[in-house]
Amino acid sequence: MTQDTIGFVHRFEPGAEDVPPLLLLHGTGGDENDLLPLGRLVAPRAALLAPRGQVLENGMPRFFRRLAEGVFDEADLRRRTEDLAAFVAAARAHYGLPAPVALGFSNGANIAAALLMLRPDALAGAVLIRPMVPFAGPPATDLTGRPILMLSGAMDPIVPVENARRLAAQLIAAGAQVEHRILPAGHGLSQAEIGLATDWLHARAPQVAA
């Protein structure tokens, strides 16, 4: 059921306590329902927390403003990242959850990357699907040991591979354990990546939950 409490319109589905919950962050034009099937597919036993982005672009929900395609309003991104971190903290208290693993697609992956950089305490790890560098100058942060899976498309017309590689390098420089896979795909999610995300979460769940 969609809830409008604790700061964001969101969906919550309970799960097992011995696996980390997933924070599902949709792409532009999605909503709190968008990634629930994917979340259940890749982590069948996990609790799912799915907020709706609070920014509208031509009527389509997003998590932060952009000035043009690939050009972010960084001041707005910072503010919205803090708002999302506050929501995660409130949701953890409300639902009795440990730190979640973010599963974000496109715009959702970008704010997840920003969350890792600005509020690393908010996440236990992340699966970033089609992310790009969120900040022109990466904030100093400590992500020592934080597991991150990045899935990029070699033929993505929105996110150049060089940009994705730069983000991976920034996260590695901050101490994260990054696995970056570049697949023969465009911006859309491929079936192969669902398998990669499932396997990665299964392998990482004990470490993430520790």
Which residues of the chain fall below pLDDT 70? Answer: 1, 205-210
Closest CA to 193 of 133, 127, 147, 131: 127
Q: Check if the beta carbon of residue 137 is closer than 8 Å to that of residue 166.
A: no
Options 106, 121, 142, 180, the catalytic residue: 106
Options 10, 34, 152, 156, the catalytic residue: 156
Q: Does residue 156 have an active-site annotation?
A: yes
CA distance linking residue 59 with residue 44, whole number of Å: 32
Options 83, 94, 187, 190, the catalytic residue: 187
- pLDDT tens-digit series, residues 145-190: 999 999 999 999 999 999 999 999 999 999 999 999 999 999 998 8
The alpha-helical segments, DSSP class H, found in the chain are: 36-42, 74-95, 107-118, 161-173, 191-209
Q: What is the pTM of this model?
A: 0.95
Instruction: Enumerate domains of the chain plus CATH numbers.
Output: 2-209 (3.40.50.1820)
